[in-house]
Amino acid sequence: MLVILLTLNFYKLAFGNVITNISGILYTIVATSFIYEYTKSATLAAIVALVRTIAKIISGLQLPFYTERFDITRLISSFYLFQVLLLSFFIVYFKLIELNTFTTTFIYLFVFFISYIEGIILPCRNSLVPKVVTHTQLFRANNIISFLEQTVSLLSWGMGGLLVVYFDKLWILVGITFSYLFPALLFKSMNIKIDKMKHKKKKIFRLDGWRVVKSNPFLLKMLIVDIIEGIASGIWIGGITLAFVREVLHKGENWWGYINTSYYLGTILSSSVLIIISSIIRRKLVISMSLGSLGVSVFVFIFGLNKIPLMSLILVFVLGLFYQLRDSAQRTLLQLHVKDDDLTAFYGFYSSINSVVFGFSIFLMGTISDLLGPQNIYLLASLMTLVSSILIFVALKNLKIEFNVNKTI
């Protein structure tokens, strides 16, 4: 009964997301595997993440240039087709040319352009959610999307590793290439009327999203909160988690995988519950976000002090519950506080900022972890998340009237 209330366009969007997430994870695994296999360098393989980050920063700043000129569903569909062409070229290239040093550079270029395309598609998809459901359905819709994303991520990362071991990588890429045709067709078939701007600006790099943020005190505070929590989330990068597993829990790399799995299971359960009680939570979004951050702070602190392996899995599972509550409430709040015409530019800017913060957090948290140890870095992250929780509560106190006046659900 909960599900059938949502629109056909929403399910087209959600199914397109599922296919995109599966394909994106698989191509990341394949590209990283390609580089490691032919360079035998973990550092060069890790650069894939850096290349993806740079590409998404650039695409986020260029997004308004495209959205002014093209209908958003047509834009998404076209960039999916560009992905198909790029992947096809990549496959042909590796079939015809021997792998050498130049090939490593070529793989980086391939990852860059694919990630650039993703950086265009993702903000556009996110901006469509409030356009395909009503405000009363928005929180539920976000949790359905999140439930599907987390489930797909859990399965894809696990299955992706097995596929790379047992199947030829090029054939996996062939499957990925064909899979992108489905979301291209789905978004092409969506009937959503969105007016394009009459006055087109010639600048390719733009800060339209920043202008949206700075003109709205609520969004500005949310951005500050997001930056703080984004830096704190650097504790979950592979190197720090692995160091914690080895030095604090005294377990092998397999426990790193167990921790990731436990987290995903927590977010999946949380999404399921939030879908059911969405009519209650959607009326208390800022409080839910603040409580979610507070819960993350408390359980990250306990996780940092804990030395019992089994308890660490339970704690991470609970963390998944609170992370999901916070993220779902935050996503809905942002959608409700941005005008429909500004959503795409806002998401493009937000994507760029998140990419910068992600890259910075990897460097900062990794460095601090080396200096203070993997256990203390979790305690520091707990403190940072506590600060963000307090800031969220202050934002509720100061902007409650503005929230009620602007948009209601």
**How many residues comprise the chain?**
409
Name the more confident of 198 and 262: 262
Closest CA to 140 of 289, 17, 301, 10: 10
Residue 212 makes CB contacts below 8 A (sequence gap 6+) with 219, 338, 339, 342, 345, 346, 349
CATH topology identical between 1-134+150-205 and 207-409:
yes
Residues 104, 36: Cα–Cα separation, whole Å: 10
Residue 408 pLDDT more than 60?
A: no
Burial 157-169 (b: 16+ CB within 10 A, else e): beebeebbeeeeb
Number of Cα atoms under 13 Å in the Cβ half of residue 211: 8
**Residue spans per domain, the chain:** 1-134+150-205, 207-409
Residue 38 pLDDT more than 60?
A: yes
362 Cα distance to chain centroid: 16
Q: With helix as H, strand as E and coil as C, how does 37-71 read? A: HHHCCHHHHHHHHHHHHHHHHHHHHHHHHHHCCCC
Domain 1-134+150-205 belongs in CATH node 3.40.50: no
Closest CA to 294 of 384, 404, 176: 384
Class of domain 207-409: mainly alpha
Asked whether 272 and 151 are in contact (CB, 8 A), the reply is: no
What one-character-per-residue DSSP string does 290-334 give? HHHHHHHHHHHHHHHH---HHHHHHHHHHHHHHHHHHHHHHHHHH
pLDDT digits (tens, 9 = 90+) for 3-36: 445 788 888 898 988 998 888 888 777 877 777 6
pLDDT digits (tens, 9 = 90+) for 366-400: 888 888 888 888 999 999 999 998 888 877 665 55
pLDDT digits (tens, 9 = 90+) for 156-185: 877 777 787 788 888 888 888 999 999 999
The pLDDT score that the predictor gives to residue 50 is 79
